[in-house]
A and B are shown apart, each in its own frame.
Chain A
């Protein structure tokens, strides 16, 4: 789960990670109160959406920049009015963009130097890794590619936690002066505590900055959490912003379905994540384009199949459906009945290819055949994929 920058910064403050003074606002009326919290002078105005590249983004009405530096609070209010309710397109949002529903105002601090700091899970070692760089404010992937020697990593032993010598190593490598170093060490320790105690999957500060007063501040904040652990963090779950999620994905999660919308026109309904991914792949392989990832799970019920069909058909791009079920334990005939029921209930008019294999598969195929519905049967994944691609192209 992702949260907004203003939420992440509130969390930072709670854990003792210094951030520039700031306040969020969700309406034009709230701009006044939010700005009242800040001192007069240079102010940043930041669109709050769950996507990167905001500063270089463009709004759908042509206004450029989702993050603006303003010389005064009055100017900040003017800029915020142009952003709020407007739709911001960045390289991470896709062409549809995201509607800006919250504006975050912060003090525009004077900056001495920019750094990069992040904590995430290193899969190879199964340990948290702290990644830091003297090159902040730019794309870290680019730094990693072009000047890998400017990226420093510290792997944290979960049995002990972050050790002081590791914090010192980072501080020395980043080349802070003694006063900055003291502040940076405290910030790194507190950031690690935040990462660990909140079950974060990633915290990223880009840029981390030093000021003329030797303060060390998180100018930006990206935090995402491990979905599996949200049950034990109700305070974090409360930060979830459904506006940032696809309504079809929200509906799917209510039925314990795992759905992700894609750009194509062939919908798929599959049991199991790996099989669902490779069903998308095989559609593409035979020249089609998948409309979604949809995993109904290992023990799909009739109700889930009906719900899945409704979600799939809620996407106007969909021109055909491929159902791929390998019923290992679950009874294929139960699934077949679910499909027939779903097709009748939603009044399906699009081509439908079903590949049903496994437990009681023969009975399942028979159920589909005698349903009187125009359901095309696929013998293997390859056969089924070729059939749906052909039907949709026709």
Chain B
């Protein structure tokens, strides 16, 4: 068990014929992920061929879904077309759309998010590294890798990781894996101010997943999504949680790389978020090198041995 995706999940890739999409389609195929279709309007009928794999390319998400049974889409299309690509997933009734694309206009996302309220499709991202549910093979091969995360650093196990930042997620996963602690699912929710799935959404899924025994939540300055999640954790979460907030030294009013990482008020600073984490019983990692150890401390305090 895991959340959102399992090794059996069939995925399609929107933008599979572009450089970016193609590169990560290959890496996902190498990892053993079931990439069953690609979508590039105008290239329907072609095949994406790689290392003995022959992935059919379709003109639309609906066609790809109908022909292959794909339930999840990874979106790699350029920013001007990304909002449309997400809406196409919703219209086709995909279970999940994972938008990797960085730099989508915020107004497009405001509209997309509103439209998706009437659909069953869940959106993760945009501007995110994607989702990995590690597999049972060597270096977690055979898992489901959607997006751009390095698959090989993972290990199958019982820790859930949710984060706004890509490389900081890899840092946490790597720390866990070298301590021989595996992961159930790692979810990058993205660094934009308007995104589909929040920290809280993912935390609730981890809380409900019997295979997840502990959670690492990684946040940043800006917005109050981490605070919302922390308050829920204090009231409801049954599992040990460790947290880290990046951006303690970021000056107010400057956008720190991610469109969402900007301090606007007194409550979205790192210090404010860390204080609320502590108040909510979340074990705070004092440095980014301390993320895995912080979770181990939180688990031990609850008498849980992580593996």
Interfacial residues, chain B to chain A (CB-CB below 8 A): 27, 79-80, 103-111, 113-115, 148-150, 152-153, 163-171, 174, 191, 193-194, 218, 220-225, 228, 244, 246-251, 253-261, 265, 270, 286-290
Which among B105, B113, B171, B249 is the interface contact of A381 at CB below 8 angstroms? B171
Query: Which positions in A face B, CB cutoff 8 Å?
Result: 92, 121, 123-124, 126-128, 141, 157-159, 196, 199, 201, 226-229, 231-232, 258, 260, 262, 270-285, 290, 293, 295, 298, 326, 328-329, 357-359, 380-383, 385
Q: A226-B259, A273-B258 are in contact. List 13 more A-B contacts (CB 8 A).
A: A121-B194, A123-B225, A124-B224, A157-B114, A275-B165, A276-B257, A277-B165, A281-B249, A284-B248, A293-B256, A358-B170, A381-B171, A382-B287
Q: How many A-B residue pairs have CB under 8 A?
A: 171
Provide 24 A-B residue pairs closer than 8 Å at the C-beta atoms, listed in order of the A residue: A121-B194, A123-B223, A123-B260, A124-B223, A126-B109, A126-B114, A126-B194, A127-B110, A159-B115, A226-B107, A258-B257, A262-B251, A271-B167, A272-B165, A275-B171, A277-B250, A277-B257, A278-B287, A280-B249, A280-B250, A295-B257, A326-B170, A357-B174, A385-B287
Once the chains are docked, how many angstroms separate the CA of A124 from the CA of B249?
A: 24
Contact A196 B107 (CB under 8 A): yes
One of A228, A285, A290 near B259 (C-beta < 8 A):
A228
Contact among B27, B105, B168 with A232 in the assembled complex (CB-CB below 8 Å): B105
- Asked if B287 contacts A226 (CB within 8 A), the reply is no
With A157-B114, A328-B149, A328-B150 already in contact, the answer to whether A381 and B287 are too (CB < 8 A) is yes
Report the Cα distance A278→B221, complex, angstroms. 11
**Known: A277-B246, A282-B289. Is A121-B110 also a contact (CB below 8 A)?**
yes
A382 to B167, CA, bound (A): 16
Among residues of A, the one whose C-beta sits closest to the C-beta of B254 is A260
Q: Which of B103, B148, B220, B288 sits near A282, CB closer than 8 Å?
A: B288
Pairwise interchain contact B261-A329, C-beta atoms closer than 8 A: no
* CB within 8 Å for A285 and B164 given contacts A126-B109, A275-B171: no
With known contacts A226-B105, A329-B150, A278–B257 Cβ distance under 8 A = no
B107 touches A123 (CB 8 A): no
CB contact between A277 and one of B80, B107, B228, B261 (< 8 Å): that residue:
B261
Is the beta-carbon distance between B165 and A273 smaller than 8 angstroms? yes
Known interface pairs A121-B110, A199-B106; A260-B256 also in contact (CB < 8 Å): yes
Smallest CB separation, A5 vs chain B (Å): 17
